[in-house]
Structure 1
Amino acid sequence: MPVRLDAQLRFPDPRDAPAEGLVAFGGDLSVARLRLAYRSGIFPWTANPVTWWSPDPRAIFDLDRFHVPRSLAKFLRKQPFEFTRNRAFREVVQCCAAAHEDTWITREFIDAYTRLHEEGDAHSIECWQGGELVGGIYGVSAGGLFAGESMFHRVPNASKAALVHLVEHLRARGFVLFDIQMITSVTRQLGAAEISRDEYLARLESAVRLECTFG
């Protein structure tokens, strides 16, 4: 059974959650609680009430096995986009919300992750074309973990291009674990894989001990 959270800053052991992953409900989306959640292998999914999840299996990108399809690589060699980091974080989150018809990225989530960004724990990659924001991705870092939250595109391949740029950046900064929570057809094409929750939590324990900075 999921645990009802109170004002105390704590989470139950996610290993005790069922496979679908509901660990707890309640609490808040404060910076401190979000930090603890990601370091515990848990993420929020709804705001009213707040629900906290750790599914089994868990989807990740192995940074050493990330796959760029030949057609995408050929397209990117034309350098159709410019990339920035953390230049338009809130706008990226808002665009991700708008891209999903039944979005979980509510105003409460946008405000909460913006606060997390202002504290240096949430980051974005922006993809620009002709001065317009056409794609992007955002997520949360903790030590050597990067937890991808959502991405969007307004022109073809923009979100994939942002993801490729992000993976290259994470490799360069020494990150070792790229969590994407759940696999999709798009991420599977790029090499995403599923691992057991136990394996994910073991990797996470090692990753968060590293002193990586997103930059």
Structure 2
Amino acid sequence: MSLSPELLLHGYSIGIFPMAEHRDAAELFWVDPKFRGIFPLDGFHVSRSLARRIRNCGFTVTIDQDFNGVVDGCADRADTWINSELRELYLQIHQTGFAHSLEIWDKDQLVGGVYGVTLGAAFFGESMFSRRTDASKIALAYLVDRLRQTEFRLFDTQFLTAHLASLGAIEIPRAQYRQELDEALNASADFTAPLDQSPEGVIQRITQTS
């Protein structure tokens, strides 16, 4: 199937998302998992070692400074579901304000990041990448903090991996997911609001209830 940006966003709004079999696949298909991965925004697990990394890593964190670079970083692996059509679609909806990235920089080098789609108060996490130890974990910590501060209600991870589960992600049944999605779509949140992003502030806030 061939998707328009409008159809892509409609799919997210009804609880489905697109994938390709691999980088060179010509076709996309919709996915509607029986069990959905989500991150409870008050349940991110910060280990002592991760807290130390956040404090001492020396990385810089930005928002929407290199969306293309983050998408390309996520696709730069042997097995990826991001084909050229999906890449172009994400770039288009980023231009219209419905997709965002969080970047991790080591000086002037992009070393990690995460990107996703936003509708209402729902953040649909698409993919993340890391070129330094713990860069993707640090990106997730900053992302969860941002979603909490800007009043998002749903952080959808699509699938539950062992890596995400170790940080606090869970699985919920499709029916529960769609109920939480409906509630989030009827609320509003501003992903790009200026926020305190100091390492100590991030650690303090996301460990308050985790």
In the superposition, the TM-score normalised over structure 1's length comes to 0.85
Give the corresponding residue for 2:49: 71
CA RMSD of aligned residues (A): 1.0
In the superposition, the TM-score normalised over structure 2's length comes to 0.87
For 2:146, which of 169, 175, 185 is the aligned residue? Answer: 169
Give the corresponding residue for 1:153: 130
Kindly provide the CA deviation profile for residues 114-136 of structure 1, in whole angstroms up to 9, marking residues without a partner as x: 00100100000000012110000
For 1:43, which of 17, 40, 45 is the aligned residue? Answer: 17
State the SS of the aligned residue for 1:178.
strand
Give the corresponding residue for 2:205: none
Deviation at 1:60, TM superposition (A): 0.3
Q: 1 CA distance for matches of 2:80 and 2:116?
A: 16
Give the corresponding residue for 2:66: 88
Q: 1 CA distance for matches of 2:70 and 2:103?
A: 7
1:178 aligns with 2:155: yes
Kindly provide the CA deviation profile for residues 165-201 of structure 1, in whole angstroms up to 9, marking residues without a partner as x: 1110000100010000111111111001000000000
1:107 aligns with 2:81: no
Q: Percent identity?
A: 45
Runs of 4+ in 1 over 2 A off after TM superposition: none
Gap regions ≥5 residues in structure 2: 193-210
8 Å contact from structure 2 (residues 152, 188) kept in 1? no
Give the corresponding residue for 2:198: none
Q: 1 CA distance for matches of 2:146 and 2:65?
A: 15
Higher relative contact order (CA 8 A, sep 6+): 2
Deviation at 1:35, TM superposition (A): 1.1
Give the corresponding residue for 2:109: 132
Q: 2 CA distance for matches of 1:155 and 1:74?
A: 15
State the SS of the aligned residue for 1:36.
helix
Deviation at 1:80, TM superposition (A): 2.2
Deviation at 1:79, TM superposition (A): 4.4
Q: 2 CA distance for matches of 1:201 and 1:163?
A: 23
Q: 2 CA distance for matches of 1:29 and 1:166?
A: 28
State the SS of the aligned residue for 2:104.
strand
1:213 aligns with 2:193: no
Letter of the 1:70 counterpart: R
Give the corresponding residue for 1:34: 8
Kindly provide the CA deviation profile for residues 5-56 of structure 1, in whole angstroms up to 9, marking residues without a partner as x: xxxxxxxxxxxxxxxxxxxxx3x32110111011111100116322001101
Give the corresponding residue for 1:16: none
